[in-house]
Structure 1
Amino acid sequence: MSTLRVDVFACDMPCRQCSMPLRWVFGLLPSHRPDGSEFTTTDFPEAVDVARRILADPTGDTMDLAAQLHDRPAWQRGRSFNPNTCGRCGHQADWHVLDDVIHHALHGRWLRAAESRVPVPQWRAIRGRGQGISWTP
């Protein structure tokens, strides 16, 4: 099965509840010749699963980021949600906060948290499902 290398993007901002510095995982993008239309936000379960798998790689130092990504809470409906959870207070903010994080990151305050190979069929199943954002870092 063919694969492609996918980057996981993050942004440093404080938790809205306890102000602890938090690294927010917000998006995925193929590494090789990235097309801005393939930028995919982590506000739906399939993208969270891919990001969590990439971040949980035992050869990297991002397992703590993988652990902070949680599934959609029961009280949230629809596609949009925020998978990031604060390690100190356990707060899982709603998708509006993730939207603010993405906006902050798009103004140059982002970092590549990790990268790994993803099967092409899995990527095709989720790619381009961002909120109409076209972004090339």
Structure 2
Amino acid sequence: MSSLQVDVLAYEAPCERCSFSLWWVFGLLPSYRPRGEEFTTTDFPEAVDMARRILAAPDGDTADVAAQLYDRPAWQRGRSFNPNRCGACGHHADWHVLDAILTHVYHHKGWIHAAAGRVPVPEWRAIRGGGQGIHWPYC
């Protein structure tokens, strides 16, 4: 089965409760010749799972970031979800915080390539573009 390399994108910002600086994982994008419409936000379970697996790879040093990703509660539905939780105090901010980070990064850059990993092409195709319809301008 063929695979492609996918980047996990993050943004460094403080926790709104304790001010601990953390990496807010907000998106996935193919590493090689990405197209703007392939940008995928991490506000749904399949993208969170993929980001977690890439971040937790044994050859990287981002396992702590992977451990901060929160699974969507079973009762919660819809696109409005923030998977990030603070590694210091455990605060799980609502989706408005992730939305504000996405808006800021979209307009001002400043994101971090947190990690990259290979994923099966069919798995990527099943989730790509599953984000909020945001066309990533920095491809």
TM-score range, shorter chain: over 0.9
1:8–1:51: 8 Å Cα contact kept in structure 2?
A: yes
Partner amino acid for 1:71? Answer: D
Distance in 2, matches of 1:70 and 1:8, equals 16
Match of residue 85 from structure 1: 85
CA distance in 2, matches of 1:54, 1:9: 11
Specify the alignment match of 1:121 in structure 2: 122
Once the two structures are superposed, what CA deviation does each residue of 1:9-34 show, in whole Å capped at 9, x if it has no partner?
00001111111111100000001110
Alignment identity in percent?
A: 71
CA RMSD of aligned residues (A): 1.1
C-alpha distance in structure 2 between counterparts of 1:37 and 1:131, whole Å = 10
The amino acid that maps onto 2:24 is W
Letter of the 1:73 partner, please give it.
P
Q: Which amino acid aligns with 1:21?
A: S
1:46 aligns with 2:22: no
Other-structure match for 1:26: 26
Q: Where do 4+ consecutive residues of structure 1 move more than 4 Å? A: none
Flag structure 1 segments of 5+ consecutive residues without an equivalent: none
In 1, Cα distance between equivalents of 2:34 and 2:67: 27
The equivalent residue for 2:112 is 111
- Distance in structure 2 (CA, Å) of the matches to 1:6 and 1:34: 9
- 1:68 shift after superposition: 0.3
Q: What one-letter code is carried by the residue in structure 2 that aligns with 1:3? A: S
User: Alpha-carbon deviations, 1:68-96, whole Å to 9, x = none?
Assistant: 00101356332320110101111111111
Aligned residue type for 1:43: D
Cα distance 1:75–1:93, how it changes in 2: closer, same or farther (>3 A)? farther
**3-state DSSP of counterpart to 1:88:** coil
Please report the TM-score for the alignment, with normalisation by the length of structure 2. Answer: 0.94
**Distance in 2 (alpha carbons) for counterparts of 1:131 and 1:100:** 13
1:41-89: CA deviations, max 9, x gaps?
Answer: 0000000000000000011110001000010135633232011010111
**1:65 aligns to what?**
65
Alignment of 1:2 onto 2:2: yes
Total equivalences in the alignment: 137
Distance apart, 1:129 and its partner CA: 1.1
